[in-house]
Amino acid sequence: MVISAIIYPISGHWIWGGGWLAQLGFHDFAGSTAVHMVGGVAAFVGAAILGPRIGKYGKDGKARAIPGHSLTLAALGGFILWMCWFGCNGGATTAMTTDGGMNAAAMVMVNTNIAAAMASTATMIVTWVRYKKPDVSMTLNGALAGLVAVTAGCDVVDPFGAAAIGLFAGVAVVFAVELIEKVLKVD
């Protein structure tokens, strides 16, 4: 309730409502910072306060995987998110008229898809090299990382820029998960 009632309106105003970040020239087209980073920081703080799940860390302090109950449902959820992101990012253009709005929305959606595809592919390759087999759940997280990463600038980058954003996000998510799980010990 606090996040929805207080934190999101403040951060949204800073970025979209003419607030101090907007006045500095900060650009966040559809919410990479205003929505996803704010939510991620709140989730991280909550997880740090609550502590790890029972069984996450052994007596030696090493992290243990706690797999989800259904990789199929996780994949379905990931693909549903991916499809819905087109509505979020494409719809953020707010004007699909013949004076360029439809072309802008189309480019936003192309960039969104390219970043997610590149990120999921990069994540799969990195996990394959690091762990000697591709990690499907991490690959799904890679797609989500690509979607979040491109959301801020999907209206101003070209497809090559979207691919670069996705590549970076897909590689970064693997190492970020390792850092958070193994070094910071936040689950």
Instruction: Identify the band that residue 98 occupies on the pLDDT scale cut at 50, 70 and 90.
Output: low
> CA separation (Å) from 22 to 8, 150, 156, 180?
15, 18, 16, 30
- Tokens 């193994």 found at: 182
- Which residues, in sequence order, are CB contacts of 126 under 8 Å at separation 6+? 170, 171, 174
**46-97 pLDDT per residue, tens:** 999 999 999 999 999 899 988 888 999 999 999 999 999 998 998 888 777 7
pLDDT grade for 102, boundaries at 50, 70 and 90: confident
Q: Is the pLDDT reported for residue 23 higher than 90?
A: yes
- Predicted TM-score (pTM) of the model is 0.91
Distance between CA 187 and CA 32 in Å, rounded?
Answer: 22
Question: What is the distance between the alpha carbons of residues 183 and 161, in angstroms, rounded to a whole number?
Answer: 31
Whether 103 shows a pLDDT value over 90: the answer reads no
- pLDDT averaged over every residue in the chain: 93
pLDDT band, very low/low/confident/very high, at 160 (cuts 50, 70, 90): very high
